[in-house]
Amino acid sequence: MSKKVAFLVAAEGIEQVELTEPWKAVTDAGHHAVLISPESGSVQMFNHLDRADSKQVDLTVADARVDDFDALVLPGGVANPDALRRDTGAVSLARDFVASGKPVAAICHAPWTLVEADVVRGRRLTSWPSLQTDIRNAGGEWVDEPIVVDGNLITSRNPDDLPHFCSTLVEWLEHGSAAAAS
């Protein structure tokens, strides 16, 4: 059965491969991907610090409802989650997804949004190494592993972990749960 997956991003600073690879994995598995952002229009992706492609927003945060989706993906990039964590609507949407029990997959710097949503307390997760202090200060346990699954949270460290990240996300969509497949 086809699932509907929300990809939540800011207007710019998204690490392109951290959006496009999970998007491709989700759609190649027969599921429907929807790009959500605080504002309508298009978003700007980057390859590290270099401007890359843009992508059209499908839905604004204000119009997004957790009940309409089966999962949430939070791509990284430094600027993207830094902007999202300053947007109260985006933070609330992420918090509501975690509370729903639906899978929330965050890679690289994306756990910043989860820290801001105050949903990492007592949870085990990974991220880009520079976030480990933020995660620990928010009550989470940071580990250096390619993929970590804790309840409905799926986290990975960086683009090198995308094969694990994508396969774990798709496994959850297909089977209703996921095990860390490292």
**pLDDT tens across 55-107, in order?**
999 999 999 999 999 999 999 999 999 999 999 999 999 999 999 999 999 99
Q: Does residue 180 lie within any of the structural domains?
A: no
Q: Does residue 49 lie within any of the structural domains?
A: yes
Q: Does residue 46 lie within any of the structural domains?
A: yes
Range of the domain at 94: 4-175
pLDDT band at 178 (very low <50, low <70, confident <90, very high): low
Q: Does residue 70 lie within any of the structural domains?
A: yes
Annotated active-site residue 166? The verdict is no
177, pLDDT greater than 80: no
- Catalytic residue among 31, 48, 108, 164, which? 108
> What is the 3-state secondary structure of the chain?
CCCEEEEECCCEEEEHHHHHHHHHHHHHCCCEEEEEECCCCEEEEEECCEEEEEEECCEEHHHCCHHHCCEEEECCCCHHHHHHCCCHHHHHHHHHHHHHCCCEEEECCCHHHHHHCCCCCCCEECCCHHHHHHHHHCCCEECCCCEEEECCEEEECCHHHHHHHHHHHHHHHHHCCCCCCC
pLDDT for residue 1: 86
Domain count, the chain: 1
pLDDT band at 179 (very low <50, low <70, confident <90, very high): low
pLDDT for residue 181: 43
Percentage of the chain lying above the pLDDT 70 cut: 97
Q: Does residue 69 lie within any of the structural domains?
A: yes
- Catalytic residue among 31, 32, 48, 109, which? 109
Q: Does residue 182 lie within any of the structural domains?
A: no
- The CATH number given to whatever domain includes residue 126 is 3.40.50.880
